Amino acid sequence: MTATFPLDLSGASFIVVSLLLGFFFGFFLERAGFSSAIRLTGQFYFRDWSVLKVMFGAIVVAMLGLAWLSLAGVLDFGAIYVPETYLWPQLVGGLLLGAGFILGGYCPGTGVVAAVTGKLDALFFLAGIFGGIWIFGAAEPALHEFHQSGARGVLTLPQVLNLPAGVVAFLVTLVALGAFWVAEMSESRWRLYEKTYARGRSGAPASPAPSQDEAALV
Amino acid sequence: MSEQATYLPAFSERMIKKHHVAIMLLHWFNAFVWLAELTTGAALIQSDRFRFAPQWYVELVTGVFGTRANMLRFHIAVGLTWIVVLAVYGIFGWRTYLREEVLKREIALDRDDVNWLRIRILRLLGRSNEPLPPQGIYNAGQKLFALTVYAMVPLIAISGLIMAFHWGPASVVGWAVVVHFLAVAVVVSGLMIHVYMGAVFPEEKPAFFSMITGMVPESYAYRHHRKWWEEVKMLERKRAAGELEEAAPQASSRVWAALRAREYWPAYWAALGLGLTLLAAFLLVGQGLGASGGFTRYLAFLIQLVAPGYAASHPYWSNYVQAGRPVLMDFLALELIGVALGGLVSGWLAGRLRWTTDRGPSVPVRARWALAFAGGLLSGFGARMARGCTSGLALSGGATLSAGAFVFMLSVFAAAFAGAYLLRRIWL
């Protein structure tokens, strides 16, 4: 079987492709509104579910694409990089990153997009990220044992659940659809509540809407 | 109804539109390309006849890329991107960009222009005080520069391709080197005036800002580009009188409207775009998207720059700093530059670029900055602990059904929801 993908790019084409992929990544993050800490954190107050919708939606699109393309023989899934599982550091790292998310308002990728669109707080967030990575890197020798704990190598959900990959992909899609339904319900409830009781106290940023002139500027 | 009275009172403050956003994007893309290509090109020249950069400069620029071969690759990559972007503008914008913008406005010299050039030169020499003839949207000097550039760009592109891919025998490649250098030299001599006029010359300040906002003050248009000002007025009068038929909406205008919409896109559309980008990443480079890995590379690069010995021997940083492989020649490091550009372009198209601080209603600005910094520290530390962040581990790992990615995702959401309750004073 000779699968065409993944390509093995090098040199100039690798650089161009990497930049272009990043370009679209940043573009769609900004389009989703992820350059706004208010919108991102709105997820955790059940007001704006776009974090969950965009993340789960993108996972499902890419997952189904990978599944179909490898079924069709176009893609060699064995050559795709799958992040290895290190149970305990990933659990603890996730807790720390989640705490950093709600404290700082962004995650690393969205922080970049926020900073380039002019969010000053995101610049401080990015500075913090560099600091945090630096501290971890410097301290890694001391934390090495924990950093390696719970190592399971490349472990996937189909292996854990002992189900075919296609079935797991189907289940994940179902869960995502369920999550979208919950998101829509919650958002419409919130809009109703806001309309009825809490007009003007919605936690929206204090800055006034841009004027007509400003709108015409760019 | 007097037509003149309707616009004259607001004459000096009123702004009128000069540049389409596509032209502004192309302008700044060109600026970036020329900066990158001139910087690396000067360090790449090997022929003794043309080499002018001092040795320390060559070493400094080469050092950024690790090896000369890498720098050459970068130079070619940027050059190819430039050719592709220009070709896309030329083909898809054939009617609006090439015919209307370039042929009619940017390079067509008329009798007024020739006179303008003559008088301008005489005035510079102190030999004349004749008034300058009225000018169109670009003055004769700008048109002359545009003509030169349009003549040189094909030469630069073709000779560059010949050099990059060794098309033809050695003598042809040798000539291509000469043509490449001379054509660039011609553009650079004009570029110096262009940059001086745009960035330094006080009277042309509005022209500089028009490349950012697309607008110029009406008074400036009246003084410097009278013929164009008259065109704009004529159009406005016709439109006010209802004589001008509105152009029929095109199929592409809906896409354009979506790109320029001030509202965020519906989450599912953004999700589809993001998902397809992620899938493309798997297909083209064999791995998913990420963010914190790129940060780590840049940090490792800095550490290597300041303390190469420490970086090479440290048990963690040495993972990134390996001999013979430049730290930044990595998908995540390169991709991160793209992320910044993509966010910038998207925000720009939607008119969302402005300096602000995103914060809850009861948090002072400085406190918000401190909190953001603290959040960044935790996120950076956590991301490295987990070997990935929301993009690199949760998103990319999730799509490949990695078990660790789902563990990570659940703990991120758990901590963020718990933290949201504890920190509700910050955001609500």
User: Cβ(B10)–Cβ(B217) under 8 Å?
Assistant: no
Residue B125: CB partners within 8 Å, gap ≥ 6? none
B52, burial (CB in 10 Å: exposed 0-12, middle 13-18, buried 19+):
exposed
What DSSP string describes chain A? ----BS----HHHHHHHHHHHHHHHHHHHHHTTTT-HHHHHHGGGTS--HHHHHHHHHHHHHHHHHHHHHHTTSB-GGGS--PPEEHHHHHHHHHHHHHHHHHHS--HHHHHHHHHTTBHHHHHHHHHHHHHHHHHHHHHHHHHHHHTTTEEES-BHHHHHT--HHHHHHHHHHHHHHHHHHHHHHHHHHHHHHHHT-TT-S---SSPPPPHHHHHH-
Q: Do A133 and B380 make contact, defined as CB atoms within 8 angstroms?
A: yes
Q: Do B280 and A172 make contact, defined as CB atoms within 8 angstroms?
A: no
Whether B2 is covered by a domain: the verdict is no
Out of B316, B379, B393, closest to residue A140 by CB = B316
A153-192 as b/e: b if 16+ CB within 10 A: eebbbbeeeeeebeebbeebbeebeebbeebeeebeebee
B33, burial (CB in 10 Å: exposed 0-12, middle 13-18, buried 19+):
middle
Are B240 and B333 in a shared domain? no
Residue B16: CB partners within 8 Å, gap ≥ 6? B215, B216, B217, B218, B221, B229, B232
Q: Which residue of B331, B373, B428 to mutate against A (max A Cβ within 10 Å)?
A: B373
Has residue A55 got a pLDDT over 50? Answer: yes
Are B308 and B365 in a shared domain? no
Which residue from A25, A27, A26, A55 is spatially nearest to A40, judged by alpha carbons? A55
Q: Do A121 and B369 make contact, defined as CB atoms within 8 angstroms?
A: yes
Q: Do A15 and B417 make contact, defined as CB atoms within 8 angstroms?
A: no
Amino acid at A208: P
Torsion angle (degrees, nearest 10) of CA A65, B276, B394, B422: -130
Are B344 and B386 in a shared domain? no
For A109-160, how does the pLDDT look when each residue is reduced to its tens digit (9 = 90+)?
999 999 999 999 999 999 999 999 999 999 999 999 999 999 999 999 999 9
On whether any CB of chain A is under 8 Å from the CB of B340, the answer is yes
Identify all chain B residues contacting A142, using CB atoms and an 8 Å cutoff: none
Whether B252 is covered by a domain: the verdict is no
Are B158 and B191 in a shared domain? yes
Rg, Å, chain B Cα set: 27
Q: Do B271 and A32 make contact, defined as CB atoms within 8 angstroms?
A: yes
pLDDT score recorded for residue B214:
82
Out of B273, B296, B315, closest to residue A133 by CB = B296
On whether any CB of chain A is under 8 Å from the CB of B398, the answer is yes
Identify all chain B residues contacting A160, using CB atoms and an 8 Å cutoff: 403
Place A217 in a pLDDT band, splitting at 50, 70 and 90.
very low
For A69-95, how does the pLDDT look when each residue is reduced to its tens digit (9 = 90+)?
888 778 898 899 999 999 999 999 999
Q: Do B339 and A119 make contact, defined as CB atoms within 8 angstroms?
A: no
Q: What region does A137 belong to: left with phi over 0, alpha with psi -120 to 50, or beta?
A: alpha
Are B148 and B93 in a shared domain? yes
pLDDT score recorded for residue A199:
53
Beta partners for residue B402, in sequence order: A156
Residue with the bigger pLDDT between B164 and A18: it is A18
Are B404 and B280 in a shared domain? no
Out of A65, A127, A203, closest to residue B373 by CB = A127
Q: Do A98 and B414 make contact, defined as CB atoms within 8 angstroms?
A: yes
Looking at CA atoms only, how far is residue A209 from chain B in angstroms? 11
On whether any CB of chain A is under 8 Å from the CB of B410, the answer is yes
Identify all chain B residues contacting A126, using CB atoms and an 8 Å cutoff: 376
Which residue among B214, B246, B278 closes a domain? B246
List the end-to-end C-alpha distance of chain A, in Å, as a whole number: 52
Out of B21, B338, B387, closest to residue A19 by CB = B338
Q: Do A108 and B397 make contact, defined as CB atoms within 8 angstroms?
A: no
pLDDT score recorded for residue A208:
45
pLDDT score recorded for residue B418:
95
User: Cβ(B396)–Cβ(B278) under 8 Å?
Assistant: yes
Whether B154 is covered by a domain: the verdict is yes
On whether any CB of chain A is under 8 Å from the CB of B425, the answer is no
pLDDT score recorded for residue A198:
59
Whether B112 is covered by a domain: the verdict is yes
Q: Do B348 and A218 make contact, defined as CB atoms within 8 angstroms?
A: yes
Are B68 and B204 in a shared domain? yes
* CA-based nearest residue in chain A for residue B407: A91
Are B115 and B193 in a shared domain? yes
For A161-184, how does the pLDDT look when each residue is reduced to its tens digit (9 = 90+)?
998 888 899 899 999 999 999 999
User: Cβ(A142)–Cβ(B393) under 8 Å?
Assistant: no
The residue length of chain A stands at 218
Whether B3 is covered by a domain: the verdict is no
Are B39 and B134 in a shared domain? yes
pLDDT score recorded for residue B250:
58
Number of domains forming the structure of chain B: 3
Average pLDDT, chain A: 87
pLDDT score recorded for residue B14:
79
Residue ranges of chain B with pLDDT lower than 70? 1-13, 96, 243-253
Cα–Cα dist B393/B387, whole Å: 7
Cα–Cα dist A37/A215, whole Å: 22
Identify all chain A residues contacting B394, using CB atoms and an 8 Å cutoff: 55
Has residue A211 got a pLDDT over 50? Answer: no
Which residue among B354, B376, B409 closes a domain? B354
Q: How do A85-86 and B215-217 pair as beta strands?
A: unpaired
pLDDT score recorded for residue B47:
76
Q: Which residue of A13, A16, A21 to mutate against B (max B Cβ within 10 Å)?
A: A21
Whether B251 is covered by a domain: the verdict is no
pLDDT score recorded for residue B247:
56
Which residue among B354, B371, B392 closes a domain? B354
Are B299 and B423 in a shared domain? no
Q: Do B276 and A65 make contact, defined as CB atoms within 8 angstroms?
A: yes
User: For residue B188, what is the domain's CATH number?
Assistant: 1.20.950.20
Domain that holds residue B27: 10-246
Residue with the bigger pLDDT between A193 and A18: it is A18
Out of B264, B346, B371, closest to residue A104 by CB = B371
* CA-based nearest residue in chain A for residue B70: A11
Residues 54-93 of B with CB under 8 A from A: 73-74, 76-77, 80-81
Identify all chain A residues contacting B413, using CB atoms and an 8 Å cutoff: 98
A114-140 as b/e: b if 16+ CB within 10 A: bbbbbbbbbbbbbbbbbbbbbebbeeb
Whether B254 is covered by a domain: the verdict is no
Residue with the bigger pLDDT between B4 and A25: it is A25
**pTM for the structure as a whole:** 0.64
Cα–Cα dist B37/B43, whole Å: 10
Are B84 and B182 in a shared domain? yes
Are B52 and B198 in a shared domain? yes
Distances (CA, A) of B143 to B121, B161, B215: 15, 27, 20
Q: Do B419 and A44 make contact, defined as CB atoms within 8 angstroms?
A: yes
Q: What φ, ψ does residue A168 adopt, rounded to 5°?
A: -65, -40
Q: What φ, ψ does residue B411 adopt, rounded to 5°?
A: -75, -30
Whether B233 is covered by a domain: the verdict is yes
Looking at CA atoms only, how far is residue B123 from chain A in angstroms? 36
